[in-house]
Amino acid sequence: MRSHLNDFSRRFYRSGQNNCSWLNNRSWLNKLLVATLSLFMITSAWAAETKTKHATLKLPVKSELLVLDGTNAKDLDFTVEANKPITLSDERHQVVFQLSDVVTDGGDRNRFTSKPFILTFHPIAGQRYSIDAPKLKNMRQAESINSNPTSKITLMNAKGESVPFEFATLPTKGIQFGRNYAADVQKFNRTDSPAAASEFSGMGVFAEQNTGFANASQNEKIYGSAANKEGDANMSASMLRYWFEKADPATQKAFINWAQEQVTRETR
């Protein structure tokens, strides 16, 4: 009887050892699984953050944002703070701004405000950009940047490298008090300037149909070319073709009818 009990005790002990070993192995596997899942979650969160991280743009220190992507600065859904970068999505953007500073003019000090400058570019997500412009000290420098801004204003990345962009000066005519810059930028964006962005032109797909074609060519004397030269009163063929292809069949037919009327009128 005692030998049977001893034999049972030995078997139970061995079984307990095996169970403990299995439990220890299971605990190790659980720890490995938790560590793997944690690493996966951290990696996924980092990847998601990297993918959704927006680009930023910083304007020159002495400047004022006038229009961003077709909207007046005062009408944006966020507050533009001085010397604070603007958050941009990963798509083409258009920034309209002015330089403003107190400069010396002979023995006097006067406030100088530049012409409105238009800068259009396509940022890369997660990148930091800044518009670099020289500090204006005297009226000679101020007038120089008005007459030849493209040689003095550049777009830089965080490494200090120049980034491709399109640039133009928003045409100015007459007294500018209370000027609606967004409306003028929309007109500019209907031209063939390299800095023009048709998506911010304020035009739907031939929203005005027949009368829209006549209205689209107004003010072309001011907004007519990439170099802002006067005298070109016609909308470019490329822009007409672009909007025609965007239109639905009914609107295309309306355009054809309108064009035929213009030809008939010219031949009378």
Domain boundaries, the chain: 1-52, 55-176, 203-267
What global pTM score does this model have? Answer: 0.60
pLDDT value at position 107? 84
Whether residue 226 is predicted with pLDDT greater than 70 in this model: the reply is no
CA angle 241, 246, 248 (to 5 degrees): 115
Q: What is the pLDDT of residues 39-86, one digit of tens each?
A: 555 545 444 444 458 999 999 999 999 999 999 999 998 888 878 899
Distance of CA 244 to the CA centre of its chain: 26
User: How many beta carbons lie within 10 A of that of residue 187, not counting itself?
Assistant: 19
Closest CA to 228 of 158, 147, 159: 147
Residue 99's DSSP bridge partners are: 63
Look at the block and give the residue holding tokens 């500073």.
101
Show the beta-strand stretches assigned E in the chain: 55-58, 63-68, 71-72, 86-88, 93-105, 108-113, 117-121, 128-132, 154-157, 166-169
pLDDT exceeds 50 at position 33: yes
Q: Alpha helix locations (H) across 96-224?
A: 139-147, 181-188, 209-216, 220-223
User: How much is the mean pLDDT over the chain?
Assistant: 76
**Mean pLDDT lowest for which of 9-13, 57-61, 165-169, 222-226?**
222-226
For residue range 74-85, list pLDDT tens digits in order: 999 888 887 889
Tokens of 192: 């063939």
